[in-house]
Amino acid sequence: MTLVVKSDSYVRDQIAVANMLRDRKRVFVDLLKWKLAVVDDEYEIDQFDHAGAVYLICSDADGNHRGSLRLLPTTAPHILGSLFPDLCDGPVPTGPNVYELTRGCFSPRISAAERRMVRNQLATAAVEFALCSGIDTFTCIASGALYSQILALGWMCEPLGLPRPIDRILAGALRIAVTRETPRLLVEAGTYVRSPLEMAAPASLAA
């Protein structure tokens, strides 16, 4: 199941959120050695985990975190705009219809094949969430092999600028277009994997 968590549903979904933040610490801090703040020795939380952030959280039947993605509104501080605007040749794309995909994270406990599945589920969920929330553009920063993997999902991408080294790894910024055609592009690429998407009420999504 993929949960859509917004700040107004933190309390209801606090276990899923806590499991995600634990895995983010394991993956980004312990495994990848990113220099990020850790809260209570257990959770990776940064300044962008603010009230506007939306999380897509994929869990197994027992509620264990399998993978997650953070969507940041670009009308508030976000990574491309605040930390790496140089990755964009022109102005950083922002606006109410533009969200940034960040902190794509997989549980270190799942296999490579499961990771592909969860990756597809999260991309599919992101597209569905975008289509029902009026989002038409995702931006993201991808480094190393991740860049090709994002293109390989089959959605329409274009570069926002030339890749540059960040922490000695070449990283580039991308724009992903989301339209009614996007689910079909994912289907054609074999990456469209629907999982039950549990969302907050449409009324609060629109708010």
Report the nearest approach of other proteins to the CB of residue 80 (Å).
Answer: 15
Q: Are 20 and 2 in contact (CB under 8 A)?
A: no
Q: Determine if 132 is a binding residue for other proteins (CB under 8 A).
A: no
- The neighbour count for residue 66, using CB atoms within 10 Å, is 25
Distance, C-alpha 128 to centroid of its chain:
13
145 belongs to the binding site for other proteins (CB under 8 A): yes
Q: Which is nearer to other proteins, 48 or 138 (CB)?
A: 138
Check binding of 115 to other proteins (CB under 8 A). Answer: yes
Structural contact between residues 15 and 65, judged by C-beta atoms closer than 8 angstroms:
no
Check binding of 206 to other proteins (CB under 8 A).
no
Binding flag, residue 184, other proteins (CB under 8 A): yes
Which residue number, 12 or 184, has a Cβ lying nearer to other proteins? Answer: 184
Our finding on whether 86 is near other proteins (CB under 8 A) is no
SS (HEC) of 48-106? CCCCCCEEEEEECCCCCEEEEEEEEECCCCCHHHHCCHHHCCCCCCCCCCEEEEEEEEE
**Positions in the binding site for other proteins (CB under 8 A):** 89-90, 112-113, 115-117, 120, 144-145, 147-149, 151-152, 154, 156-164, 169-170, 172, 184, 187-194
